[in-house]
Amino acid sequence: MIRTVRCIALAALCTLTVSAQSTRRPPATPLIAHDPYFSIWSNTDKLTDSPTRHWTGHPQPLVGLVRVDGQTFRILGRDPDRVPAMEQASQELTPTHTRYSFKNAAVQIDLTFFTPAFLDDMDILSRPVTYVTWTAHALDSGSHDVAVFLEADGGIATSYEGQQIVFSRNHTTSTRVLSVGTKDQSVLNRSGDDLRIDWGYFHLAVPNNEEAATSISEHPEREFADSGTLAAPDAMDGPVAQGRNAPRMAVALPLGKISAQPVSKSVLVSYTDNYSIQVMGRNLRPYWQRNNKPVSTMLDEAVREQPALEARGVAFDRDLIADLTRSAGEHYAWLCTLAYRQSIAAHKLVAAEDGTPMLFAKENFSNGDMATVDVLYPSAPLFLFFNPKLLEAQVLPVLRYSAMPNHWHFPFAPHDLGQYPLANGQEYGGGEKTEENQMPVEESGNMLILVDAIARTEKSTALAEKFWPILTQWANYLKEHGLDPERQLTTDDFAGHVAHNANLSIKAIDALEAYADLAKLLHHDSEAKQYDAVAKDYAKKWITLAKEGDHYKLGFESPGTWSQKYNLVWDKVLGYALFPKNVRETEMAFYQTKLNRYGLPLDSRQTYTKLDWEMWTATLADNSADFNSIVDPMYKWANETTSRVPMTDWYDTVSSEKSGFQARSVVGGLFIKALDDKPLAAKWRAKSENLK
């Protein structure tokens, strides 16, 4: 399908966006970002300076070539290095698009990766398709013969080199499809952190109305580079070992004679797995396949809907960036842009047996746990802002598990439901599920706050009502243990156990008010009054326990310490108003004295910080100057960090290097400032409601 650029106004918008981003540099750039297994990135400034990689850092090479008037150039990937790279003129990143422009004296080639990650549309969100589009136009007065090429390594469908893979060709009503998967197809065969998928199939799909040549051979890139064609026979004689000399899938598309009028062509890249997650021993399908929809039908729908989705994506990106910029500035909008696809792609949306959506986060490079409560908590603002139903889809499996006494017997909330992709019971703490190895106040507080936030944003108490006994149990636990927590772990468990943690106490106090709020909504008036009184009393006591001169301590019994009080943000965002305004003002003034080049340290013990918590702390500010004093160093870090990985959330504020973690969902927490902008959040939730 040959398409021209639709309007001069759109081109002008894109030019402005590229210009605005000229000084920005993502730590790593998402190309294909769907879920923890289907996630391919570039970690260099130029798309031709490195092989593309899975978020874990393992190579998953895509190769892109372009042939102009008989001369071949490389525009994607490092190989083949004998083919010269075309000059990369610009890069543009928006919430749903990644665009690169390349040029020589004759032509400009624009390469776009578009993933329609719309949180208000679960069917589209769960559809595992990214569109790869080439657009070419001449830069001189002549016409030029142009063809483009995309190659995919079979390793995308394996977890380690040497696995036996099988290729195939298929047709749907609208496409020609090349596919690759492992021979063994051991579905949901193991769990872990630094793993890729080795069941299901990777697909390259070419619309039938695109003139194209396809090939499955050992070195299709050499053939295209030499001749501009793909005529080699397919190497499909049974299983082969995945590796450097294994066959690869390739597509070559002639764009024809190109003049000043732009011409575009697209292919679809997809990964389908049939069963994605196991919950309590039961295998669950991806949400798009909940009614056994065939892969062929899904691909046909994706082809048919591409023009409408593209227009929707352009409008979404434009409106979101503009709104975030108006609300909190360009630096904030850029950080949210970096976070958007990354946070979503650390999740997998599946359907329960009855079709109910369940969304599972993987705790990337942090043991690989799934449905981790202290990971759902920091990422929650993204979902509360766009579609709280997706936060409910994360909280629901935790509540169901907690209500199963044969699986969970503690009086507080669990940490996780297992190790991705097997949600068969808590994994954290190993086999010794003792209270010492848990996060009792942390996770119980998280769950109560999130359930109340869901009730507020959805204007529904159905979830709270269904699981009221469990919520009551957790509230009772916090009433007893929350004000002055004994020595225990928090979400920042890399820092070790802390006793009398002031920030953790804030979480417990806000959670008690969350429970009081839920009780009021459910007309449990006696409980509502009781817990509201407890929360207000604890907030007053907290001030006395934590105060130390011009700030509040890390631990009640730890003089000479300080910490970010990021949990205080819910007191502001949800309007609990338990703590006087001067508590926030005192802390914000003190933080100004502790800022480093790349941000605000987490606390007085180290120079490292957490990206999500920094933004929550910044959101405590009541003026833009205080807010920007924290956000501007974060922006500087994002553009200058030496850790070229999908954005870490744990880094050093002096060196800019990551301390650990990458590609995690928690960066969705950057949307907390947008969530605190009540009119803006209402506007975007209304958009979601209008589409349903």
Q: pLDDT digits over 464-481, tens only? A: 999 999 999 999 999 999
Q: Is 130 within a domain?
A: yes
CA 233 to CA 220: how far, in whole Å? Answer: 10
Q: Which tokens go with 92?
A: 């543009």
Summarize the confidence of residues 337-359 as an average pLDDT.
98
434's CB contacts (< 8 A; 6+ apart) are none
Q: How far is CA 557 from CA 181, 496, 543, in A?
A: 57, 16, 13
Summarize the confidence of residues 334-360 as an average pLDDT.
98
Note the pLDDT tens digit of each residue in 379-396: 999 999 999 999 999 999
Q: Is 597 left (phi over 0), alpha (psi -120 to 50) or beta?
A: alpha
- Check if the beta carbon of residue 169 is closer than 8 Å to that of residue 177: yes
Q: Which tokens go with 405?
A: 């006494």
Q: 254 pairs with which residues across the strands?
A: 147
Q: Which tokens go with 54?
A: 């899975």
CA 183 to CA 165: how far, in whole Å? Answer: 5
pLDDT for the residue 176:
97
pLDDT for the residue 240:
87
What is the domain-level CATH number for residue 21? 2.70.98
Q: Is 90 within a domain?
A: yes
Q: 204 pairs with which residues across the strands?
A: 178, 269
Confidence of residue 244 (pLDDT cuts 50, 70, 90): confident
**Beta strand ranges found along 6-50 (DSSP E):** 29-33, 39-42
pLDDT for the residue 8:
30
Q: Is 472 within a domain?
A: no
Residue 17 pLDDT > 50: no
Summarize the confidence of residues 647-672 as an average pLDDT.
98
Residue 415 pLDDT > 60: yes
- Give the sheet arrangement for strand 175-182, strand by strand: 87-93, 97-103, 107-114, 129-138, 263-272, 201-207, 175-182, 164-171, 240-241
Q: 593: closest CA among 628, 568, 630, 619?
A: 630
Q: 349: closest CA among 253, 419, 276?
A: 276
3-state secondary structure of 67: strand
Q: Is 190 within a domain?
A: yes
Q: For residues 208-232, b (16+ Cβ closer than 10 Å) or e, as one string?
A: eebebbbbbbbbbbebbbeebebeb
pLDDT for the residue 548:
97
Q: How far is CA 347 from CA 127, 195, 277, 395, in A?
A: 13, 15, 11, 13
Q: How far is CA 44 from CA 53, 151, 644, 648, in A?
A: 11, 19, 7, 16
Q: Is 215 within a domain?
A: yes
Q: 90 pairs with which residues across the strands?
A: 101
Residue 611 pLDDT > 60: yes
Confidence of residue 15 (pLDDT cuts 50, 70, 90): very low
At position 534, the amino acid (one-letter code) is V
Summarize the confidence of residues 366-373 as an average pLDDT.
96
Q: 109: closest CA among 47, 166, 55?
A: 47
Q: For residues 26-42, b (16+ Cβ closer than 10 Å) or e, as one string?
A: bbbbbbbbbbbbbbbbb
Q: Which domain holds residue 179?
A: 8-273
Q: How far is CA 573 from CA 292, 596, 671, 673, 678, in A?
A: 41, 27, 12, 9, 9
- Check if the beta carbon of residue 16 is closer than 8 Å to that of residue 275: no
Out of 188-192, 442-446, 519-523, which region has the weakest mean confidence (pLDDT)? 188-192
pLDDT for the residue 1:
35
Degrees to nearest 5, angle at CA 14 with 314 and 670:
65
Note the pLDDT tens digit of each residue in 577-604: 999 999 999 999 999 999 999 999 999 9
CA 229 to CA 231: how far, in whole Å? Answer: 6
Note the pLDDT tens digit of each residue in 75-125: 999 999 899 999 999 999 999 999 999 999 999 999 999 999 999 999 999
pLDDT for the residue 672:
98
Out of 3-17, 227-241, 434-448, 473-487, which region has the weakest mean confidence (pLDDT)? 3-17
pLDDT for the residue 436:
72
Residue 22 pLDDT > 70: no
Q: Residue 239: is it exposed, middle or buried by C-beta count within 10 angstroms (0-12/13-18/19+)? A: middle
Q: Is 427 within a domain?
A: no
Summarize the confidence of residues 138-145 as an average pLDDT.
95
Q: Is the peptide bond before 80 cis (omega within 30 degrees of 0)?
A: yes
- Check if the beta carbon of residue 504 is closer than 8 Å to that of residue 441: yes
pLDDT for the residue 432:
55
CA dihedral 304, 33, 198, 239 (to 10 degrees): 60
pLDDT for the residue 2:
34
pLDDT for the residue 687:
83
Confidence of residue 430 (pLDDT cuts 50, 70, 90): low
Q: 648: closest CA among 657, 635, 661?
A: 661
How many helices (H) and strands (E) the chain has is answered by: 18, 29
Q: For residues 460-472, b (16+ Cβ closer than 10 Å) or e, as one string?
A: ebebbeebbebbb
pLDDT for the residue 237:
64
Considering its fold, how many domains does the chain have in total? 1
Confidence of residue 4 (pLDDT cuts 50, 70, 90): very low
Element (H, E) at 133: strand 129-138
What string of DSSP letters covers 150-175? Answer: EEEEGGGG-SSTT-EEEEEEEE-SSE
- Check if the beta carbon of residue 134 is closer than 8 Å to that of residue 207: no
Element (H, E) at 134: strand 129-138
**Beta strand ranges found along 15-122 (DSSP E):** 29-33, 39-42, 53-54, 62-68, 71-76, 87-93, 97-103, 107-114
pTM for this predicted structure: 0.95
CA 236 to CA 248: how far, in whole Å? Answer: 10
Helix, strand, coil in percent for the chain, rounding step 5: 40, 25, 35
Q: Is 518 within a domain?
A: no
Q: How far is CA 217 from CA 214, 225, 241, 295, in A?
A: 10, 14, 13, 24
Element (H, E) at 351: strand 347-351
Q: 146 pairs with which residues across the strands?
A: 68, 256
pLDDT for the residue 280:
96
CA 283 to CA 359: how far, in whole Å? Answer: 14
Degrees to nearest 5, angle at CA 682 with 680 and 687:
100
The rounded mean pLDDT for the chain is 94
Q: 222 pairs with which residues across the strands?
A: none
Q: Is 174 within a domain?
A: yes
Confidence of residue 691 (pLDDT cuts 50, 70, 90): low
